[in-house]
Amino acid sequence: MRVLFPLLLVCGIVWAREPVRFRHGMVVAQEQHAAGVGAAVLKSGGNAVDAAVAVALALAVTHPTAGNLGGGGFLLLRTAQGQATFFDFREQAPLAATHDMYLGPDGKPTRDSIEGWRAAGVPGTVRGLELAHSKYGSRDWAELVAPAIKLAAEGYEISYGQARSMAGSKLLAKFPESRRIFQRDGVFIEPGERLYQPELATTLRRIAAGGAKGFYEGETARILAAEMRAHGGLITEEDLKLYRAVERKPLMGGYKGYGVITAPPPSSGGLGLLQILGVLNGTGYETTGFESAQTIHWMAEAMRRYYADRSEYLGDPGFFKVPVKGLLDPRYLDRLRASIDPAHASKSAAVKPGAPRDFEPAETTHFSIVDSAGNAVALTYTINGGYGSGVTVRGLGFLLNNEMDDFAAKPGEPNMFGLVQGESNSVQPRKRPLSSMTPTILVKDGKPFLVVGAPGGSRIITGVAQVVLNMLDFGMNVQDAIDAPRLHHQWMPDTLYLERGFSPDTIALLRARGHTVEQTGSVAVVEAIRVNGAWLEGGTDGRGRGKVAGY
């Protein structure tokens, strides 16, 4: 004890689980075959963008709960030379979408935004990967599609976790083509059995040969539009042909000497991360110690205020003027900070979205990659819920997203993640639904420090924020920062969610401050790489099935 005590004082942390280390290149992804595909691309001299394309396409085969051709997402890149850029390939509402399309005759939201053909937005993944590759890739496109084709055509062994995940999906069991692919004789594929996806292999071969055109035009587009028509869905050949990925400027901020590069709208994630960090900065919240009731209180109050703002001010910037500068203005952050009572929980009903304009001048998956040159990619993409809408398109072999549920089907009413959202995020043709995905890269002294992101719906933002805070304010290594129990508050419902692992004494203290505390399942599933001098350190999240591969 005499030896340990001073050590504890220095580190502040008792436990340590070592991250996985490689020297040259690393992929941290949520499925092992796909992580291996990415590491092989890096080892053979491909760069981080090449590896990202290969991993994303491989995940579409080996991680059907979230990996996709039929969804969308965001790719954040920071090059070794220090340029940062962001590829937005979020889904878009079809041309025929309408404001009230998810309201029933009683005026209440239906389940149409969650399951079946009408839940799908126009997919963006293939266009997004192609755009990033055309600008920053170094390897031949077809070469990067090849591993995914092989995995689809030759099959791969289903893991225990995957088998359990499929068996747990009521949605997947509802649609005949999904059943045909993922079940044998009415039972989902068992661990150790091989999953073969010949139709998906054919769809991928068209992508290998024709690039994004091989998906958005021609045979694939024709089949997808015909199946949509036959089942009452909205996506047409015109929707597919019109879809464009967009290259955007990432949001840039800072926290305690680190640069933070993160996701701009139509993600709400980057703004959330920067606002939460900005409100906490200067409170001294961390001085009462990791996981103390006082620390948790400050974090929860900062989170509560951001989600109130999110409900009002965030949406597709092509349709709604998001007050980005106002939401991050230091004077606005001062005002939010000052509204927090250190001793008492606020009531969400009394916390209204702030007035940032006063300051305004005018089941997802994530992977992180760093290559040997120091290029870094954080990519989060999704079909929204696990297995998306549940629908696999006959003849094409891929699952369609249910991203339309990320819109406010009825402004003011909660969606699948309990998020209450406003008119800024209502359904409109060609609009992108607001996302919480938060691919982020931290920079220290001009070098990448952390490449991070997560699935987890509305909890992505708070999950990523806590891993950053655990590393920067509590001195944890990347693995410990991910392992530590997490909290979540999203304004509405007015509940402080705590994962397992918080002490009953702490919970009692939080309740005494007026928080409604509930125990919850995972707050996001974070996958991250820390660049630590000559070493790449991979942290995977035990809440999911993360794997590190590298060389």
Active site residues: 364
Phi, psi of 467 (to 5 degrees): -65, -40
Asked whether position 406 contacts ligand DON by CB under 6 A, the answer is yes
Minimum CB distance to ligand DON smaller for 211 or for 433: 433
Which span sits near ligand DON by CB under 6 A: 431-439, 469-477, 503-511, 528-536? 431-439
CB of 75 to ligand DON, least distance (A): 14
The DSSP letter of residue 109 is: B
Asked whether position 262 contacts ligand DON by CB under 6 A, the answer is no
> 376-410: buried (b, 16+ CB within 10 Å) or exposed (e) per residue?
bbbbbbbbbbbbbbbbbbbbbbbbbbbbbbbbbbb
Residue nearest to ligand DON (CB): 364
CB of 181 to ligand DON, least distance (A): 21
* 3-state secondary structure string across 321-371: CCCHHHHHCHHHHHHHHHCCCCCCCCCHHHCCCCCHHHHCCCCCEEEEEEC
CB of 459 to ligand DON, least distance (A): 8
- For residue 89, the cross-strand partners are 73
CB of 408 to ligand DON, least distance (A): 13
Minimum CB distance to ligand DON smaller for 46 or for 433: 433
Q: What is the crossing angle of helices 48-62 and 141-154, to 10°?
A: 20
- Give the C-alpha separation, 218 to 229, whole Å: 17
Asked whether position 286 contacts ligand DON by CB under 6 A, the answer is no
Q: With contacts defined by CB under 6 A, how many residues of the chain interact with ligand DON?
A: 13
Residues in Cβ contact with 310 at an 8 Å cutoff, skipping those fewer than 6 apart = 268, 271, 272, 419, 421, 434, 491
- Give the C-alpha separation, 25 to 36, whole Å: 12
Which residue from 453, 449, 417 is spatially nearest to 311, judged by alpha carbons? 417
Asked whether position 115 contacts ligand DON by CB under 6 A, the answer is no
Asked whether position 415 contacts ligand DON by CB under 6 A, the answer is no
Candidates 92, 295, 382, 424; binder of ligand DON (CB under 6 A) is 382
Single-letter residue type at 225: A
Query: Binding to ligand DON (CB under 6 A): which residues in 359-378?
Result: 363-364
Q: Is the peptide bond before 493 cis (omega within 30 degrees of 0)?
A: yes
Minimum CB distance to ligand DON smaller for 63 or for 337: 63
Asked whether position 384 contacts ligand DON by CB under 6 A, the answer is yes
Minimum CB distance to ligand DON smaller for 89 or for 359: 89
- Cβ neighbours around 175 below 10 Å, total: 23
Q: Is the peptide bond before 147 cis (omega within 30 degrees of 0)?
A: no
CB of 371 to ligand DON, least distance (A): 26
Structure-token match 């951001």, residue found: 306
Asked whether position 439 contacts ligand DON by CB under 6 A, the answer is no
Candidates 435, 470, 479, 490; binder of ligand DON (CB under 6 A) is 435
- Give the C-alpha separation, 543 to 551, whole Å: 25
Asked whether position 233 contacts ligand DON by CB under 6 A, the answer is no
Minimum CB distance to ligand DON smaller for 79 or for 522: 522
Candidates 116, 128, 457, 544; binder of ligand DON (CB under 6 A) is 457
CB of 365 to ligand DON, least distance (A): 8
Candidates 264, 455, 544, 550; binder of ligand DON (CB under 6 A) is 455
Helix residue ranges per DSSP H, 454-494: 460-472, 478-483
Asked whether position 264 contacts ligand DON by CB under 6 A, the answer is no
CB of 401 to ligand DON, least distance (A): 8
Asked whether position 437 contacts ligand DON by CB under 6 A, the answer is yes
> Vertex 16, ends 14 and 17: CA angle to 5°?
155
- Give the C-alpha separation, 428 to 101, whole Å: 10
Minimum CB distance to ligand DON smaller for 92 or for 384: 384
Asked whether position 456 contacts ligand DON by CB under 6 A, the answer is yes
Which residue from 181, 184, 149 is spatially nearest to 64, judged by alpha carbons? 181
Minimum CB distance to ligand DON smaller for 356 or for 385: 385
CB of 140 to ligand DON, least distance (A): 31
Minimum CB distance to ligand DON smaller for 242 or for 416: 416
Report the run of H or E that residue 531 belongs to, with start and end. strand 527-532
List residues binding ligand DON (CB under 6 A): 363-364, 382, 384, 403, 406, 435-437, 455-457, 460
